[in-house]
Structure 1
Amino acid sequence: MSNEMIKCTNVSFKYIKDSEGDKKEKYAVKDVNLEVKNGEFLVILGHNGSGKSTMAKHMNALVIPTEGTVVVDGLDTKEPKNVWDIRSKAGMVFQNPDNQLVATIVEEDVAFGPENLGVEPSQIRVRVDESLEKVGMSKYKRHAPHLLSGGQKQRVAIAGILAIQPECIIFDEPTAMLDPIGRKEVLKTIKELNKKHGITIILITHYMDEAAQADRIIVMDGGSVKMEGTPKEIFPRVEHMKKIGLDVPQVTELAYELKKAGIDINEKILNVDEMVNELCQLK
C-alpha cells in the first residue's frame, strides 16, 4: 500500500473556446504535478478560473486529462474500466446540496449510493446508520431533505458519500452556499472525518479560515500550482497572496501590519487564540 492516495503527473486539460465563431484551444490546467497523501487534509485555494475545480474533477474521473496522468489509489483515471472503482474510492461533494439529494426521506437518500453499487440490503442499513451518525444527522433520518437547513442538507450529502465507504472525499466549495452556522457545521464534520475516521480530504474553498485548518495548502492561479506548503508557510506571505488575488486570515494580516509598523511579533499566526498569546507577550 503506497502512501499516496492521488498522484497527478504533468496534468493538462484543454477545452475548445468558441469566441465569435473562432474556435480556440484554452488550457484550464497546465502541467500540474501534485500528490495527496493517505489521511491528509489538503486544501486547494485559488480564485475563480484558477483551475482548482477542474483539478478536483480529475480526482474522481469526472474529467480525464488531455495530457499527463491522474492515478487514484493505484488506478489510472484514463482506463474506462477503472471509473467505478475510482468513484467508490474517491467520493465528491459539490457546492449546492439541493443538486445532490435525490430521495424524499433522508435515510433513503443516504442509501442511494450503496444500492447502486449492489451492496446487500442488510449491509446498506448498517452503512446508512453509521454514515448519519458520523455527520451528526441520525435523528433526522426520517425527515424530508427539503425541510432541512443548508448545512444539514450538505451533511446528508456527505453521509451519502460516506455510505459508499470511500477512502477519500473531494469537497468542491461545499460551504459556498451556506450561512455562517451551516459553514461551521460542515467544516467541523469534514475535520472529524479526517482526524477521527482517517478519511483523506481534499477541500476546495475560497474561505481562508477554512484553509487555515488544513495540513497542507496548494495555491493555484492561471491553471498552475503557484505555492505549496503548510498554512503557517503560506499565509504569512501576505504580499504574494494578494498579488494572486487571494486574502489571508484576518489575524495573519493584522500580524503582518503590526510587524510592518515595527512591532516585534510572530507573523505565523492563523487564529485569534494565537494572536492573543502573542499580544500578551509583548512588553
Structure 2
Amino acid sequence: MENTMIRCENLTYKYINSEDNSEKYAVNGVNLEVEKGEFLVVLGHNGSGKSTLAKHLNALLIPSEGKVYVDNMDTSDENNTWNIRSKAGMVFQNPDNQIVATIVEEDVAFGPENLGVEPSEIVKRVEESLKTVGMYDYRKHAPHLLSGGQKQRVAIAGILAMRPKCIVFDEPTAMLDPSGRKEVINTIKKLNKDFGITIVLITHYMEEAVEADRIAVMDEGKIIIKGTPREVFKNVELMKKIGLDVPQVTELAYELKKSGIDINTEILTIDEMVNKLCQLK
C-alpha cells in the first residue's frame, strides 16, 4: 500500500441521459492501482470512459459507487480535496484553457502563489520548472504567441511548480501537430525518468503508449486488458475490434505469424523486427 500512488476500487460513475432520463455508465467497476514512480498509459477510443476516469484521479469527479484513493487519501472526503490536488496535478488537452496570465513566468507562478508559497521560493520554482520543460528562454514571452506544443509545456511547468508527486495528462497531445506532440511526450518521459514523478497518460495514440511501463485499455467504461506494452499490443485482433491500432511492426509480426512464419508477436520496434527476421532460418 505504501508504494501505491493511486488506487481505484470498483470505481463507477454514472450520469443521467438527458434524452430519455436513463442512467448511463461512463466508468463501470474499474479496479486499478498505479505505483509511485510508474508511467501508466490509459488507452481507449472516444467514449470509452478514459477521460472520465482521469477526472476521478484528482477529485474533479467523485465516484457514484466505489472508491478512489490518491496517496491513501479518499477523494470522496471533501477535507482531502485540496491535498489531493496538490499531490496530483492535471494537464488537459487544450493548453489555451489552462493558461491564465499574459507572461509565461507569471502563468507558471500562478499555482504556487495560490498554494501560499513564499515569493522567493516561487521565483526558484518558476525557474526550475521552465528549465525542466525547456521553456526558460521564453519566460518573458506572451503565451498566446507560442506554438501549441510550447503552450502545453508551459502548462506542464505550471503544474510542476506546485511540486506534485503525480501528474495526470488527459489527452495532452490531441490538439497538437506531430512536432508539438513529440515535444510534449519527451517532456512527460523526462518528468518520469529524471524526477520520478508518477505519470498517468490518457491517450488514443498507441505510439505514445509504447513508452509506458504499463498500459490499461478501456472500452465501454471497463478496463479490458492490463499489462506491459508487449503483453497488451500482442492482442492485435482484440485491439482492432475495439477500434484501436497497434504498432505497425507488431501488426506485421502478427500477419507473418498468421501466414505460417514462426515469429514472436511481442515486437514493438523496427530493430526488434529486424533481429527476429535475421534469426529465422
Residue 81 of structure 1 is matched in structure 2 by 79
2:130 to 129, 132, 148: 132
Cα displacement string for residues 174-229 of structure 1 (whole angstroms, at most 9, x for unaligned residues): 00111111111110000010011000000001111100110000011111110100
Which residue number corresponds to residue 21 of structure 2? 23
The match for 2:189 is 191
The equivalent of 1:262 in structure 2 is 260
**Paired residue type of 1:248:** V
CA distance in 2, matches of 1:188, 1:280: 31
1:233-279 CA deviation, whole Å, 9 max, x = no partner? 01011011111221111111111111112222221111222222223
Q: Could you tell me how far apart the structure 1 residues matched to 2:260 and 2:71 are?
A: 49
For 2:201, the equivalent position in structure 1 comes to: 203
Paired residue for 2:38? Answer: 40
Q: Following TM superposition, where does structure 1 have runs of at least 4 consecutive aligned residues deviating by more than 4 angstroms?
A: none
Percent identical among aligned pairs is 74
Determine the structure 1 residue equivalent to 2:7: 7
Residue 232 (1) aligns with residue 199 (2): no
Partner of 1:247: 245
**Alignment partners' CA distance in 1, 2:176 and 2:278:** 35
Render the CA deviation track for 1:107-154: whole Å, top value 9, x for unaligned.
001000000111000000000011011111111111111111111110
Q: Structure 2 length normalisation: TM-score? A: 0.98
Aligned partners of 1:178, 1:254: CA distance in 2, in Å?
28
CA RMSD, Structure 1 to Structure 2 (Å):
1.0
**What residue is the counterpart of 1:165 in the other structure?**
163
Note the residue ranges of structure 1 that are not aligned, 5 or more in a row: none
Other-structure match for 2:174: 176
Structure 1 SS opposite 2:28 = strand
Structure 2 gap segments, 5+ residues each:
none
**d(CA) in 1 for partners of 2:63, 2:236:** 32
Partner deviation per Cα, 1:82-108 (whole Å, 9 max, x = no partner): 111000000000001111111111100
Aligned length, in residue pairs: 281
TM-score for the superposition, normalised by structure 1:
0.97
